[in-house]
C-alpha cells in the first residue's frame, strides 16, 4: 500500500473510531496531580489568543464584584486571576452551581445499583415525606427531582422549605417546569437513603477525593451549600469536560447517564438537563419565573456550553468544542438572581474578545 493511501486509511479508521460519546482523547488533556498545587500553564500568546483583550476582561471582572476567575484550555491553566483580598486558598460558596455536584453523585449511585432515577423518590425518602397522598407521592420519581418537574407547589412562602407542610401538591409530575429549591435539596436525602451513607461522605469518597478537590458541604437552614476554592471548581469542570473520566480514573462510567444529564431532559425547558444549564437550545425558563422565553440561554456563548449557575453569579462553564473550563466566583455582577443572569452574556462577550 502506498504511503499516502496508508495515511488516508489510518486517518479514516481514527475518525470512525471516535464518537461524540467518548471522553476527550487522554493525550489531549492535562490533569493536575492530586494533593498538589502544581498545575501546568499555557500562555495567551502560545494559544494565539488576543492579548489586547486581557486587561479589559480583568477590568470588567473587577468592576462586577468578581473574587476569582479561571480559564482552563485542555486542562492547562491559561488565566487565574484573583481580586481584592481573595486568593488561591480562599473558599467561596458555589450556591446553585453545586447542583451539578449532586446530579453527578446521583449518577454514580445509580451506576452502582443503589438507586434508579425512574423509581419513586419515596423508595429512598420513605412514605410520608410530603403533604401529598401516598398515591400522589408514588408518582414523583427521582428523575422529577433532577429535572425540576415534581409538580410540588413552588408558590409556598419558602421555596427552600423541605418540611412536610411546605411540600404541597400543585401539578401532576412531569407536566410543568419550575425552579423549585426544595425539590432539589431532597436529593441529598434520596442519595443518603439509597446508599445508606451520609450524602456528603459518599460525595467525598466518590468524587471529591478522586479528583483532588477540596471543600465541604455546609448545612445552612434548609440549604446544603458547597464551599471550595476556585481551583476545586475548575477540577470538577475538567472532570465534566472529559465526560466523567479523571486522567486514568473513571469516576462516572455510565455514559448514557452523563449524556442525559448534560442534554435536554424535557420539553418544558429545553435549556435544562439534570440540574445542568444548557446553551444553544430554542427556549429557556429562569428561576423565579413561569415565563418560557424563546432563544438561547446565553446568546454570546458557544452552543455546546453546559453550566452550573449559582446565585450571585457563581459560574462554572464547560465548552467541549473549545476544550474550555471557566470558573467565576464572587458577588452579583448583575441582578441578584439564582441562576442565569445578563452577566453571563456580558461576560461571554469579553471572553470571546480574548479567545477569538
DSSP structure string for 105-159: HHHHHHHTTS--TTSBTHHHH-TTSSSS-HHHHHT-BHHHHHHT-S-B-TTSS-T
pLDDT at residue number 337: 72
d(CA 17, CA 188): 38
Q: Model pTM?
A: 0.92
pLDDT at residue number 13: 38
Residue 280: all three cell numbers together: 444553544
Interval 69-81: pLDDT, tens: 999 999 999 999 9
pLDDT at residue number 200: 97
pLDDT at residue number 15: 39
User: What backbone phi and psi angles, to 5 degrees, belong to 69?
Assistant: -145, 130
pLDDT < 50 positions in the chain? 1-20, 22, 24-27
d(CA 112, CA 141): 18
DSSP structure string for 155-187: TSS-TT--SGGG--B-S-TTS-----HHHHHHH
Task: Give the chain's domains with CATH numbers.
Answer: 44-355 (3.40.710.10)
User: Look-up: residue for cell 465534566?
Assistant: 240
pLDDT at residue number 336: 65
Q: 145: how many CB neighbours lie within 10 A of its CB? A: 28
Using DSSP bridges, classify how beta strands 76-82 and 66-73 pair: parallel, antiparallel or unpaired: antiparallel
Amino acid at each position: 500500500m502506498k504511503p499516502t493511501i496508508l495515511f488516508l486509511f489510518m486517518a479514516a479508521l481514527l475518525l470512525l473510531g471516535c464518537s461524540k460519546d467518548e471522553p476527550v482523547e487522554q493525550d489531549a488533556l492535562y490533569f493536575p496531580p492530586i494533593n498538589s498545587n502544581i498545575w501546568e500553564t499555557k500562555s495567551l500568546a502560545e494559544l494565539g489568543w488576543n492579548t489586547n483583550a486581557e486587561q479589559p476582561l480583568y477590568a470588567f471582572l473587577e468592576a462586577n464584584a468578581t473574587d476569582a476567575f479561571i480559564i482552563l484550555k485542555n486542562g492547562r491553566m491559561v488565566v487565574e486571576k484573583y481580586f481584592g483580598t481573595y486568593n488561591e486558598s480562599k473558599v467561596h460558596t458555589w450556591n446553585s452551581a453545586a447542583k451539578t455536584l449532586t446530579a453527578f453523585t446521583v449518577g454514580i449511585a445509580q451506576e452502582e445499583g443503589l438507586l434508579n432515577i425512574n423509581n419513586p423518590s419515596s423508595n429512598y425518602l420513605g412514605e410520608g415525606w410530603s403533604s401529598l397522598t401516598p398515591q400522589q407521592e408514588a408518582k414523583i420519581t427521582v428523575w422529577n427531582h433532577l429535572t425540576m418537574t415534581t409538580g410540588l407547589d413552588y408558590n409556598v412562602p419558602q421555596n427552600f422549605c423541605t418540611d412536610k407542610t411546605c411540600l404541597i401538591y400543585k401539578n401532576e409530575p412531569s407536566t410543568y417546569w419550575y425552579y423549585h429549591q426544595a425539590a432539589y435539596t431532597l436529593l441529598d436525602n434520596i442519595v443518603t437513603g439509597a446508599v445508606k451513607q451520609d450524602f456528603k461522605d459518599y460525595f467525598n469518597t466518590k468524587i471529591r477525593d478522586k479528583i483532588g478537590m477540596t471543600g465541604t458541604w455546609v448545612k445552612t437552614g434548609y440549604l446544603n451549600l458547597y464551599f471550595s476554592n476556585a481551583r476545586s471548581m475548575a477540577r470538577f469542570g475538567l472532570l465534566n469536560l472529559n465526560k466523567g473520566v479523571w486522567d486514568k480514573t473513571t469516576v462516572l462510567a455510565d455514559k448514557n447517564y452523563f449524556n442525559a444529564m448534560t442534554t435536554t431532559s424535557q420539553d418544558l425547558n429545553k435549556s435544562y438537563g439534570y440540574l445542568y444549564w444548557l446553551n444553544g437550545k430554542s427556549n429557556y425558563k429562569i428561576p423565579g419565573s413561569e415565563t418560557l422565553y424563546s432563544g438561547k440561554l446565553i446568546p454570546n456563548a458557544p452552543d455546546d456550553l453546559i453550566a452550573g449557575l449559582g446565585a450571585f453569579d457563581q459560574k462554572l462553564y464547560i465548552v467541549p468544542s473549545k476544550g474550555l473550563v471557566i470558573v467565576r466566583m464572587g458577588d452579583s455582577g448583575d441582578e441578584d438572581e439564582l441562576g442565569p443572569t445578563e452577566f453571563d452574556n456580558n461576560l461571554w462577550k469579553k471572553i470571546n474578545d480574548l479567545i477569538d
